[in-house]
Chain A
Amino acid sequence: MLSGYAPILFFFGICAAFAVLAQFLNAALGPKRPSPTKDLPYESGIVPRESARRRFSVSFYVTAMLFIIFDVESIFLFPWATIVRELKVFGIVEMGIFIATLLVGLLYVWRKGALRWD
């Protein structure tokens, strides 16, 4: 049963080996002429204005939380879709109740403006 996953394991092994090898080869072969400018964090060529070690906006938290909620909702849709023909109308109704409940949440979030990035 699990032997079918051997190619995936092989794939992960090659990925890990490539990552390690690339790091090793870079350290071994690359020329090293360090300077203070080179040690700066690279942000698309823009000079850093302040320390990156500061608090993130709370909007990130809200976005991640809402992502989880609707991620879980969509996860339930996958098993439901596989047997929706067997469940017939009953399946449509129960998923309708589920989605309607979450739609109330989506409308609340929308009305409160949490989907806007202020």
Chain B
Amino acid sequence: MTVLFAVVIALAAVSSLGVVFSRQTIYSALSLVLTVSMLAVLFLLLNAQFLFAVQLIIYAGAVMVLFVFIVALLSPDAEDRPALDLRAVIGITGVVVVTALVFIAARNGITYSTNGFHGTVVGTASDPYHTFNFPQDAVNNAGNVQTVAGQLFTNYLLPFEITSMLLLVAAIGAVYLTRRSSR
């Protein structure tokens, strides 16, 4: 388990470095495929099989197709990038800050556990659809997708419905922008 975790983390780190340092934009996109695939495996290690499938279908599949098309649309040629400018400094600072935050969070108990995800218990344990504590056995008994669905369509109903508005805005925006530019 720990070995697999280490391999996945290492591959994710190497491929994300490939995203940043590739001269060709298309190679950055292909490295990003490996990065999001490794993140999907992390979901699998966290006993979140449904999110694993979603991560692969949406990110490694659909979003990467979009990225590749955008790369082909904008510039197939190599990107000329300066060695070290303000953006690089801001990026490195961001990486350091986020890494520090992750370590602080891990120190304070928000951590990876082989027994499933543990949050604060808010709901009642007798009602599986209204609980915030997800021991692995209970989740596997109820069904992984069913647990996600039970949360999504009751406790997180408003974010779910707002998602449809977000998708609507994205659809209208994409069509509007491209219709304007093609004229």
Q: Name A residues whose Cβ lies closer than 8 Å to a Cβ of B.
A: 1-2, 5, 53-69, 71-73, 75-76, 78-80, 82-83, 86-87, 91, 94, 97-99, 101-102, 104-106, 108-109, 112, 114, 118
Contact = CB atoms under 8 A, between A and B. Distances in A.
A56 B77 CA distance: 13
Contacts of B153: 79-80, 83, 87, 91, 94
Given A55-B72, A79-B152, A69 B167 contact: yes
A60 B73 contact: yes
A60 B175 contact: no
Interface stretch (B28-36, B43-51, B91-99, B103-111): B43-51
Nearest to A105: B171
B66 A61 contact: yes
Interface residues of B, number: 50
A71 B62 contact: yes
A5 to B, nearest CB: 7
Contacts of B172: 105, 108-109
B174 interface: yes
A82 B69 contact: no
Contacts of A86: 129, 150
A98 B73 contact: no
A84 to B, nearest CB: 9
Given A55-B73, A102-B168, A114 B179 contact: yes
Contact of B73 (A61, A94, A108): A61
B170 interface: yes
